[in-house]
Amino acid sequence: MNAESLHSHKGRYAYERLERVIHEKARLGILTSLLTRPEGLLFSELRDLVGLTDGNLSRHLKVLQEESLVSIQKAFVNNRPQTTCLLTEDGRERFLNYLQALEQVIKDAETATKKTTKSESAWLAT
């Protein structure tokens, strides 16, 4: 890569739109689960879908709630406490924006592997 082409590529793979609070692996699972259910998921349902312990799920939900990505509703149903977790409007928007950045990573990698495969075949053909 010469100096000029490198200059134009500065920060090309910085992926700044990959918001850190969303990027955490467990939270990615939580947000995807909630995206599939706009009407919300019970705490126990969500826990099973993402395969976390009660404690870990609570900690991640607290972070997501503080960031206004998720809202938590507590109610009593048949005299038993019930916790429902929902993606907020803002959370949905930010998560969809994050997913676009994620798609860019995959596109970049796909372009890279296609290029490699091409040069490998060219090399094999000689």
Q: Least distance to a second copy from the beta carbon of 80, Å?
A: 16
96 neighbors 38 (Cβ within 8 angstroms): no
DSSP state of 15: -
Stretch of 10-18, 53-61, 67-75, 77-85 lying at the interface with a second copy (CB under 8 A): 10-18
Spatial separation of the C-alpha atoms in residues 23 and 27, rounded to whole Å: 7
Pattern 85-114, a second copy, x by CB under 8 A: ----------xx--x--xx-xx-xx-xxx-
The reply to whether 63 sits near a second copy by the rule CB under 8 A is no
Q: Least distance to a second copy from the beta carbon of 10, Å?
A: 5
Spatial separation of the C-alpha atoms in residues 114 and 102, rounded to whole Å: 19
